[in-house]
Structure 1
Amino acid sequence: MLGLIQTALTYIIPFLLVLTVVVTIHELGHYWAARACRVAIDQFSIGFGRRIFGWRDRQGVEWRVGWIPLGGYVRFSGDENAASVPDQNNLSAMRQKIEAEQGPGAADRFFHFKPVWQRAFITAAGPLANFVLAIIIFAFLLMSVGETVIPARVAAVQPGSPAAAAGFRVDDVVIEANGQKIDNFFDLQQIIAVRSNAPTQFLVDRGGQVVSLSATPERRVMPDRMGGEQKIGVLGISSPADAGQRTVRRYGPLEAVGAGAERTWRVLSTTVYYLGRIVTGRESADQLGGPLRIAQASGQVAQSGAQGAPDATTMLLGSAVALLGLTAVLSVGIGFMNLLPVPVLDGGHLLFYAYEAVARRPLAAKVQAAGYRVGLALLLGLMLFATWNDLQQLRVFKFLGGLIS
């Protein structure tokens, strides 16, 4: 019993908190955009399933909390038929029915009868809200906590490493990597980690002279913070962190917002680049993680934030700060994933709206319905694959095999 409680406090609760914040902000993006376009809204739900509690506001929107805390949704009036009335004939029949029941002009408040640009705006507002959330969180952390800065100076070069072959020397200061300005060893590590077996250009300051070097990080299997393994690129250089060369940099409000936007873009571009390497076969697909690994990461991040705290208050504060950072990164991932051109995701809807804008009519109902089924199958398949990777990474099968034997 104590073990179950400890597991819930360590992994499940942090995971649900992070997921609930990210999904709620995503749905609020859809909600506020719909309100701005005067779309009739029936319901806003945090969680799925039977309602635990809720209320109805003055606009008639039912706000509710479901008992399954694994997401949420906003339901526009008429959404219950959204998959079956996407073409012109069914929309005409739907308009006639609505106006017969609610009076002339009533259909104009329904999502399906808004101009295509408004529907696209409402759809894109969810992922956009995720990116805005990430910027706000990063900016808040940079103002309040600051960032640890370790000079991008080479403290040591491993013999026989890609860095040694490329000509890196001790005391070289890396000022640019793969076209990106570098002023922190952490940033350099992130670039190297996702560029295994990819030739990369570096600019280093060597005694006041700028020297250009080309190196190819090699892929190595390294332990991660979650107790599993990860395949990342390694150059073979050490940072001066062990010598105590680190400072804390804090930002002012405007500077923090700019830096938050830059970090959000960096996370997004790195995600796109890494997924591109997986699709093209240059990176192993077993690195894709799913909900189990996110839950484990949430627990580990919360623990690392609380580590070394002198009292319970400081421990909770440290965990909260660490989880905020994870929330920002996950929010970028959720925003990007929803923009993929897969039916049932926001990106798939935007694809259909783009066709409608060009052809001046909605895509045929049969085609959209088939697209939704294919998209759902792809999404479920990806989730199953990612969950399988989670089980492999967490060594669940080895554990079960040990129990059986």
Structure 2
Amino acid sequence: MDFLATLPATIFSYGAYAVILLVALTVIVFVHEYGHFKVARLCGMKVEAFSIGFGREIWGKYDRYGTRWKIGWLPIGGYVKFAGDANAASMPDPESPPKPDEFHGKPIWQRALVVAAGPVANFVLAFLLFAVYFMGDKVLGPQLGEIMPKSAAQEAGFQPNDTVLRIDGEEVLSFVDIIAIVSQSAGKSLHFDIDRSGSPLTLTVIPQSSVEDRGFFGKITIGRIGARPSDNPSNLHNVPLPRALNMAGGEIERIVVGTLQYVGRLIVGRDSVSQLGGVGTMAKLTGDAAQVGFLVLVYMIAVLSVSIGLINLFPIPMLDGGHLVFYALEAIRRKPLGPQAQEWSFRIGFAVIIFIMLIGNINDLLRATMRNLAY
């Protein structure tokens, strides 16, 4: 009964989350496709269409170069269609040989640059957004406050007011850096270089495994050492531009490394697909971020941009990484794969992508169902 009473508000909340996610993805997709488009233009390629969304066109116009800029009625994803492409996946037209100004008429290195430009544009967008986030808000420094009794930090000899300088040789600039490294290192020995009242010291600590319930996002295993940030006002500070840029680069590195480590654990069977998320997860993340504040939403868009850029580099046919693999094979064989081989590769790649999306969305559905039953 309580669930039915809250249903209208829940539907409205989900609708608002969907709109926020749509705006965020539109920005990310536009930047991604513009990366392809811009480099293609620089390489002298003719671009027939730049589309945000798929399906029937609801708005469009031609620019002075003859490119049709348009918006499709299904506003999910987007594409750049080059002259000579048989479809939006940029497969060559088997009926006619490529012309010099067409994508498939250009050298392999130029085609590879165009394909890689999309993910690179996503990383550039994320880098700028992370820098804006770090500069726009005060950040907790790496000075430690309370050390939990019987914790890994206490056993290792940490004391309040210790300032962490480096972890395993990696420079630490904020308490967020400490969390990011420790959370991914459960059971692993970490070497902390610290400053204690002006004296350098190195301590070794092994983060304890902790299962954390993320509610809608399920349960995950992370590492903890049992130390809190210092509440000293001097530990809260603005971030200057050079340091913000440094932190932005570090944030991208951690997301990339963390994602690849998860994929590696998934392949060897040390982790499960239960942590994968779909559209619901993305909508909740961006919606929750927007409720907290604009800067947190900026941070979340940056995270999504890195994730989309990285996923597109995976060597799966239909993704940018799959195209790059084809070009590498073409360079080795000195001729492209046959049309039939490419077609079957794209079909397999499409099936893999759909399968991953299904798993993520099924996980979202299960989480939402269990959450509603808990009410």
Q: TM-score, normalised by structure 2?
A: 0.88
Distance 1:258 1:208, change over 3 A: closer
Distance 1:137 1:230 in 2: 27
Q: What is the Cα deviation at residue 346 of structure 1?
A: 0.3
User: Following the alignment from structure 1 to structure 2, what is the Cα–Cα distance between the partners of residues 324 and 34?
Assistant: 29
Task: State the 1:153 CA deviation.
Answer: 2.8
Which residue of the partner structure matches residue 114 of structure 2? Answer: 122
Distance in 2, Cα, partners of 1:64 & 1:122? 20
When the two chains are superposed, the root-mean-square deviation of aligned CA atoms in Å is: 2.7
1:49 matched to 2:55? The reply is yes
Query: 1:137 — aligned with what?
Result: 129
Please point out which of 297, 310, 314 is paired with 1:323: 297
| 1:237 and 2:227 matched | yes
* Structure 2 unmatched runs, 5+: 1-7
Q: CA deviation at 1:133?
A: 0.9
User: Of the candidates 195, 203, 213, which is equivalent to residue 193 of structure 2?
Assistant: 203
| 2:253 equivalent among 254, 257, 265 | 265
CA contact (8 A) 2:31 2:122 kept: yes
Deviation at 1:223, TM superposition (A): 4.2
Contact map agreement 2:141 2:237 (CA 8 A) in 1: no
Deviation at 1:285, TM superposition (A): 3.4
- Which structure 1 segments of 5+ residues have no match? 99-106, 306-318
Q: State whether residues 29 and 128 of structure 1, in contact with CA within 8 Å, keep that contact through their aligned partners in structure 2.
A: yes
- The SS at the match of 2:144 is coil
What does 1:298-337 align with in structure 2 at a 5 Å threshold?
A: 298-305=286-293, 319=294, 321-337=295-311
* Distance (whole Å) between structure 2 residues aligned to residue 32 and residue 204 of structure 1: 46
Q: Which residue identity lines up with residue 238 of structure 2 in the other structure?
A: R
Give, in whole Å, the separation in 1 of the partners of 2:188 and 2:143: 22
Q: How far is 1:43 from its partner?
A: 1.1
Q: Structure 1 residue 383: deviation in Å? A: 1.2
TM superposition shift of 1:362:
0.7
Contact 2:51 2:79 in 1 (8 A): yes
Q: Give CA-to-partner distance per residue, 1:198-252, whole Å, 9 cap, x none.
A: 33222223344433333222232224486854432211112223x5554232324
The structure 2 residue matched to 1:292, chosen from 280, 299, 307, is 280
Q: Percent identity at matched positions?
A: 38
Structure 1 stretch 367-376 or stretch 109-118: which is displaced more? 367-376
**Is the 2:217–2:275 Cα contact (8 Å) retained in structure 1?**
no
Moved more, 204-213 or 64-73: 204-213
- CA gap of 1:357–1:60, structure 2 versus 1, over 3 A, is same
How many residue pairs get aligned? The number is 368
Distance change >3 Å, CA 239–CA 255, structure 1 → 2: closer
Contact 2:79 2:88 in 1 (8 A): no
Q: Give 1:68's aligned residue.
A: 74
Q: Residue 297 of structure 2: SS of its match in structure 1?
A: helix
Indicate if the aligned counterparts of 1:37 and 1:118 stay in contact, CA closer than 8 A: yes
Summarize deviations over 1:254-299 as a string: whole Å, max 9, x none.
Answer: 6654553443334333333343344344444322222211100111
Between the aligned partners of 1:132 and 1:85, the Cα distance in structure 2 is 27
Q: Which residue of 2 aligns with 1:104?
A: none
Q: 2:10 matched to 1:36?
A: no
Distance 1:167 1:377 in 2: 52
3-state SS in 2 of match to 1:219: strand
What is the aligned counterpart of 2:169 among 160, 179, 188?
179
Q: Which one is further off, 220-229 or 70-79?
A: 220-229
Name which of structure 1's ranges 329-338 and 66-75 shifts more when overlaid on structure 2: 66-75
